[in-house]
Amino acid sequence: MRQVLVRYKVKAARASENETFVRGVFEQLVRASPPGLRYRTLMLEDGVSFVHIFEADADGNPLADLSAFKAFTAEIGQRCDEPPVSTAFTQIGAYGTGAADRPRLDRSPMVIPLEILGIPQSNFVRAVRMACEEKALPYDLKPLMPHTPEVLAIHPLGKVPVLRHGDVAIAETRAIIGYLDATFPQTPVIPKAPDAAARTEQWISMITTSIDRALVRDYALAYFLPTGPDGAPDRQAIEAALPELQAKIDVLDAAVSGSDCLVDDTFTFADMNLMPILHVMLLLPESTAMMAKAKALTAYYERHATRPSFRNTAPPAN
């Protein structure tokens, strides 16, 4: 039998983040149910000292295979004022520990289902779904059109996506992403380092405003929501959109010509915001021709289109 006690003290500002990571481990443990393991985590009354008590019947560590445990341990050193110290121990006696050993999951944000409301064809809905996939967060998709009553109950302008998480309801893609990263800190989709965070925000802002407008609203929607005679696309609107379409594709091509992602080599929410838009561009003739000439942007798209988060969120074809 292996019995180990681990103690450490986290920075006050990171205590709730640490608690969320720990809750994530217990949530996954309940589902995985590895045999021969008894494991408890205690937070001391100072709110920053943690003690983990680990007992395994066999050698090895059944926690090591859990993605939630990997996420918990990945940056623990950076969260700590006093780093983890492990001590082996021998149990002399125990009484009535069974019920107390059971994790209390009722307050865990992981056990409250995440619901994304919005049609899967929406590039913004897909971006939020990609973030959930990258963060390994299970979610339910409710494929609602904009302006339906359930959407309007959350977004006063009726736009999708909106998010429901228990009593919490949030509108606007960037606000949803902020909530997800704060509530589930594993695999942040907005980097923590100030410089990388700011450059990610810079791209999110540009994509959500100017780039989405030029590529999706003014160009692609002229095809998908046609307003021309006999339900045909409005050719005049399409022609009028082409100069800005080309200008924005040029900007994006330059942005990824020297790096793997929009922000250095880290796949952030800026990329998750952009990839669904590029997918739409490759469905339409003028933008497909422009993409073919934008070599760096095409290579960027092809590189990231293989990611499970992108493949698992493909909208239905039609």
Ligand X SMILES: N[C@@H](CCC(=O)N[C@@H](CS)C(=O)NCC(=O)O)C(=O)O
Task: Report the interface residues with ligand X, using CB under 6 A.
Answer: 122-124, 146, 158-160, 172-173, 208
Beta carbon of residue 122, minimum distance to ligand X (angstroms, whole number): 3
Our CB check for ligand X shows the closer of 175 and 240 to be 175
The CA–CA distances, whole Å, from 106 to 23, 110, 166, 188 equal: 10, 10, 12, 24
85: enclosing H helix or E strand: strand 80-88
Report which of 263, 264, 265, 250 is spatially closest to residue 297, judged by C-alpha positions.
250
Is the CA virtual torsion 207, 135, 123, 172 positive or negative?
Answer: negative
**Computed over its alpha carbons, how large is the radius of gyration of the chain?**
24
The CA–CA distances, whole Å, from 95 to 17, 52, 174 equal: 32, 19, 49
Our CB check for ligand X shows the closer of 146 and 178 to be 146
Our CB check for ligand X shows the closer of 40 and 279 to be 279
Distance between CA 254 and CA 199 in Å, rounded? Answer: 15
Beta carbon of residue 127, minimum distance to ligand X (angstroms, whole number): 9
Beta carbon of residue 144, minimum distance to ligand X (angstroms, whole number): 10
Our CB check for ligand X shows the closer of 23 and 126 to be 126
Collapsing DSSP to helix, strand or coil, 53 comes out as strand
Burial class (CB in 10 A: 0-12, 13-18, 19+), 231: exposed
Our CB check for ligand X shows the closer of 56 and 204 to be 204
Our CB check for ligand X shows the closer of 148 and 187 to be 148
Beta carbon of residue 83, minimum distance to ligand X (angstroms, whole number): 40
Distance between CA 40 and CA 4 in Å, rounded? Answer: 11
Our CB check for ligand X shows the closer of 20 and 122 to be 122
Report which of 312, 265, 314 is spatially closest to residue 133, judged by C-alpha positions.
312
Distance between CA 271 and CA 200 in Å, rounded? Answer: 9
Beta carbon of residue 296, minimum distance to ligand X (angstroms, whole number): 26
Beta carbon of residue 172, minimum distance to ligand X (angstroms, whole number): 5
129: enclosing H helix or E strand: helix 123-134
Beta carbon of residue 191, minimum distance to ligand X (angstroms, whole number): 20
